[in-house]
């Protein structure tokens, strides 16, 4: 396993273009440092999971890539675009799936897809094209024209995946995507993300779910107290080994950080 100091260099991405990059990315809130000199790269066609407890800096990282915050130092890039300097341009290339997906309950899945596609600059998405996107995202046909007030969390997420397909997003950000999903829905969603990765999308997943991180990712970055503790390739990684490394990272955290776990 790599040491904490080793994980602070960029991940080697080979010849694949880089979809997401953080360079010495640091975020502070007052006197508190919530993210400390984070370095990571997500090549096209790969999934990187940030694994950590509550307060580790996972959502902060996602928000920095979305341009919601301006970092204290360092930079976040989406397909080479400096997010803090060009947030709107960067977001055009991004798909974002939050922990809780909000859709208009009085609109159907197809109508929500068309509405949010229009907001994202995708003009004139036809019913036929929208239905094709919802089918590709795995939403059952019987739900396409049903009000979203009847949707489960997994169904709402599939509308988000369809929107990512409509945008032809180059990168995806997912914040605790399987929280609250039953095991079947979680496995189905993981398959959707892996399918998008196979089509060249680079995905960054923030999670505290060890099983999800191992199953969905090419690499796992363990983040505790805003600092990278380990970066692990998942090829050949057993769940028990991941759990051991993760618990050791948590045990090594200062008492003030463990109190947040």
For residue 222, the enclosing domain spans 6-93+170-258
pLDDT in tens, 141-193: 999 999 999 999 999 999 999 998 998 899 999 999 888 888 888 888 899 89
Average pLDDT, the chain: 89
Say whether both 48 and 66 belong to one domain: yes
Say whether both 25 and 124 belong to one domain: no
Q: Is the pLDDT of residue 99 over 50?
A: yes
| 38 domain-assigned | yes
| 127 domain-assigned | yes
Say whether both 74 and 139 belong to one domain: no
Torsion, Cα 240 246 249 253, to 10 degrees, reads -130
| 98 domain-assigned | no
Q: What is the pTM of this model?
A: 0.86
Say whether both 138 and 82 belong to one domain: no
Q: How many CB atoms lie within 10 A of CB 187?
A: 15
Helix (H) or strand (E) holding 50: strand 47-51
pLDDT in tens, 211-234: 999 999 999 999 999 999 999 999
Say whether both 16 and 120 belong to one domain: no
pLDDT in tens, 11-38: 344 467 999 999 999 999 888 889 999 9
Helix (H) or strand (E) holding 27: strand 18-29
Confidence of residue 254 (pLDDT cuts 50, 70, 90): low
Q: Please give the tally of structural domains in the chain.
A: 2
């Amino acid at each position: 396993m790599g040491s904490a100091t080793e994980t602070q260099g960029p991940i080697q991405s080979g010849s694949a273009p880089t979809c997401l990059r953080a360079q010495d990315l640091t975020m502070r809130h007052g006197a508190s440092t919530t993210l400390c000199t984070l370095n990571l790269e997500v090549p096209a066609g790969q999934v990187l999971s940030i694994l950590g407890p509550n307060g580790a800096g996972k959502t902060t990282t996602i928000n920095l890539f979305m341009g919601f915050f301006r970092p204290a130092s360092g930079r976040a890039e989406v397909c080479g675009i400096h997010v803090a300097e060009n947030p709107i341009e960067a977001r055009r290339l991004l798909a974002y799936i939050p922990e809780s997906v909000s859709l208009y309950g009085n609109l159907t899945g197809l109508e929500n897809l068309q509405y949010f596609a229009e907001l994202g600059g995708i003009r004139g998405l036809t019913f036929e094209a929208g239905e094709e996107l919802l089918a590709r995202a795995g939403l059952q046909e019987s739900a396409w024209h049903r009000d979203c007030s009847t949707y489960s969390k997994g169904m709402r997420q599939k509308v988000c995946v369809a929107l990512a397909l409509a945008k032809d997003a180059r990168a995806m950000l997912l914040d605790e995507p399987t929280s609250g999903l039953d095991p079947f829905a979680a496995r189905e969603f993981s398959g959707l993300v892996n399918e998008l990765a196979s089509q060249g999308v680079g995905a960054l997943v923030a999670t505290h779910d060890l099983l999800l991180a191992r199953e969905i990712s090419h690499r796992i970055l363990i983040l505790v107290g805003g600092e990278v503790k380990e970066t692990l390739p998942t090829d050949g990684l057993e769940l028990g080994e991941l759990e051991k490394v993760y618990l050791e990272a948590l045990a090594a955290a200062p008492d003030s950080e463990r109190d947040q776990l």
